[in-house]
A and B are shown apart, each in its own frame.
Chain A
């Protein structure tokens, strides 16, 4: 079945430390993949996307993600965490390239001072 799986519902990192949020997908065709961020009581904001071309994609706020077809992964990273990065992060994909987005369950990122 086509799906998006996020590993870890909660991740805590210290301010200044590396952020790594994991995402794997299952798709029968090359997908479009996304990371969204959601701050409390706000809608979803697109952080970055992979559609075609370069597999390492850079997004806003210093985040980046790498599409690895062999590992069916699209992990999100940021070299140095900032307090303002505390939020819920959703990995998502158009797994059939049909305008229908399937979301993972989300990972809440906590930043420790």
Chain B
């Protein structure tokens, strides 16, 4: 079974530029997550999708970050304009849909390391 795919693996941009990251979840996984992992910290959830709808984007800085999952499969996370503090690893994860009383393991991709100069 193929895992969660992300691209690019590394990206270096200057502040105020824009950047986009792509994620392809595991086939059949309806739930998709984007996390931000700043150096020295644990991952922090940015946004959660169920199919093509947003479940939770309360931690997404919406003035500069946007994300979409138009067909309920692949997802794109965009930053425009980037700031120095956006330097981080951006992780994508996917899981089966939440079932009442159940547990669904999240599977993580390798991440995209963003450096903003």
Contacts and interface: CB of A to CB of B under 8 A. Distances in A.
A99 B40 contact: no
B110 A43 contact: yes
Contacts of A49: 103, 105
Contacts of A9: 40
Interface stretch (A64-72, A73-81, A100-108): A100-108
A43 B111 contact: yes
A101 B108 contact: no
Contacts of B41: 105-106
B43 interface: yes
Nearest to B110: A43
B43 A100 contact: no
A97 B103 CA distance: 8
A101 B91 CA distance: 13
Contacts of A32: 103
B99 to A, nearest CB: 10
- Max chain A Cβ within 10 angstroms of own Cβ: one of B41, B44, B103, B105: B103
Nearest to A4: B42
A101 B93 CA distance: 11
B111 A101 contact: no
Interface of B: 4, 31, 40-45, 48, 55-56, 91, 93, 95, 98, 103-106, 108-111, 113
Interface of A: 4, 9, 32, 36, 41-46, 49, 51, 90, 92, 94, 97-101, 103-106
7 contacts: A4-B42, A42-B110, A45-B108, A51-B103, A99-B95, A105-B42, A106-B41
Nearest 6 interchain pairs by C-beta: A103-B42, A44-B108, A43-B108, A43-B110, A51-B103, A99-B98
